[in-house]
Amino acid sequence: MTNHMIKALVGEDELLARQRLVSLLKRESDINVVAVCKNGPEAVSQIQEKKPDVLFLDVEMPGIDGFGVIDAIDRKQPPIIVFTTAYEQYAVRAFDIQAQDYLLKPFDEDRFKQALNRVRSQIRARSSASETSGGTSAPKGEKLLIRSGGRILFLGVKEIDWIEASGNYVSVHVGNQAHLLREKIGTMEERLDSNKFVRIHRSFIVNSECIKEIQACGKGEYLLLLKSGKSLSVSRGYWNHLEEFLKSLAGPPLNP
């Protein structure tokens, strides 16, 4: 949970969709809906006046569309953006302007709650960065754009537990879910923070925060055990790389 009420603005020109969004938001004890807007110009005005923490914006709105609304507001301290739309074709553009999520209509309550939890996580990250740096907002984390099961998922890389290569694809594991992404594992490795993610095998990349322990199996073979209970092989060719990585995190050298 966050430490303060999250101020939300809804921008949606369709009455039923607008009412549903407001209803879903009002069920959350930490959300305060500070403005409900029927078009783009009204949304811009209310954002400037109410300074919401998060925007739930339809893309196609009268006057100014959702992207125009974002262009018109102060980008030095932008609210978190969640687009709500029936059109998949805007997803890449939303990704480019670092929207937190992209809800394809019709979305169910579980998908909505998933987006809202990402908003909460981003607000916590901004708050933590502000406290440690004296700044006013945290930089946005990198995200992956994944098309899965008729929906588009904006996945923050910090949510990833581990990644497995599969030819020209990678399987991105998050909790008990796996998402297939058309990208080679070497390219994926270059995109990830090398202070957080480590390659342990030609087929595996692991989030260091998910590592529980490393078990020696004899003859120079090792298993890496994740907090989830998943075990992954550490190849001999990557052992030295893993050793140096862990040494940078923990300090004392390892003695395989």
Answer yes or no: are the C-beta atoms of 35 and 63 closer than 8 Å: no
Predicted TM-score (pTM) of this structure = 0.58
Do residue 135 and residue 216 come from a single domain? no
Q: Given this model, what pLDDT does residue 189 score?
A: 85
Do residue 109 and residue 12 come from a single domain? yes
CATH of the domain at 165: 2.40.50.1020
Containing structural domain, residue 178:
160-250
Q: What mean pLDDT is reported for the chain? A: 84
The C-alpha atoms of residue 121 and residue 98 are separated, in whole angstroms, by 15
Do residue 138 and residue 20 come from a single domain? yes
Q: Given this model, what pLDDT does residue 255 score?
A: 55
Q: Which of 118, 144, 170 is the last residue of a domain?
A: 144
Quick one: three-class SS letters along 44-78?
HHHHHHHCCCEEEEECCCCCCCHHHHHHHCCCCCC
19 falls within a domain: yes
153 falls within a domain: no
Of 149-163, 176-190, 198-212, give the range with the top mean pLDDT.
198-212
Q: What is the pLDDT of residues 87-140, one digit of tens each?
A: 888 888 887 777 888 998 888 999 999 899 989 988 887 776 554 444 433 343
Do residue 72 and residue 199 come from a single domain? no
127 falls within a domain: yes
Do residue 137 and residue 240 come from a single domain? no
Do residue 116 and residue 193 come from a single domain? no
52 falls within a domain: yes
104 falls within a domain: yes
Q: Given this model, what pLDDT does residue 183 score?
A: 82
79 falls within a domain: yes
CATH of the domain at 43: 3.40.50.2300
Do residue 92 and residue 126 come from a single domain? yes
Number of independent structural domains in the chain: 2
Q: Which of 96, 116, 144 is the last residue of a domain?
A: 144
pLDDT band at 1 (very low <50, low <70, confident <90, very high): very low
pLDDT band at 154 (very low <50, low <70, confident <90, very high): confident
Q: Which of 78, 112, 144 is the last residue of a domain?
A: 144
256 falls within a domain: no
149 falls within a domain: no
* 164 has a pLDDT exceeding 80: yes
Sheet holding 162-166, edge to edge: 177-181, 169-174, 162-166, 204-207, 197-201
Do residue 19 and residue 136 come from a single domain? yes
* 215 has a pLDDT exceeding 80: yes
